Amino acid sequence: MTAGVKTIVALSVCLAAGFLLSILSCALYGNWWPLVVVFTYAVAPLPNAVFGRFVSSDPLADVSSAVADFGRFVTAILVVSGLGLPV
C-alpha cells in the first residue's frame, strides 16, 4: 500500500475507535447526552459540502466568495463546539 492509503486507513480506524468509545461511554453509564458530540462531528462537514460550490475553480485567483467563507465559518463553529461540549 502507498503512504496515502495507509494514512487514510489509519485515520479511519482512529475515527471508528473514537465513535465506538463515545457510544460505549453513553451506553455503559446510561447518560446519552455525550452522543450530541458524535452528531456534531457528523454534521460538521455539511456546510463545506453545501457552500463549497461557490468557490472559484482557479486556485490562483485572489477572489474570495463570502458564501464559501460563511460555510467555512459554520464548519469551524461546529468543530469547536464539538470539542467544547464535553467540558
Summarised one tens digit per residue, pLDDT across range 26-74 is 888 888 887 888 888 888 889 988 887 877 666 666 666 788 888 889 9
| Residue-level pLDDT at 14 | 92
Q: Give per-residue pLDDT as tens, 13-32.
A: 998 998 888 888 888 888 88
Name the CA dihedral angle for 66, 70, 71, 72, rounded to a multiple of 10 degrees: 100
Q: Is 79 exposed, middle or buried (0-12, 13-18, 19+ CB in 10 A)?
A: middle
Nearby residues of 80 by Cβ (< 8 Å), 6 or more positions away: none
Helix (H) or strand (E) holding 7: helix 3-29
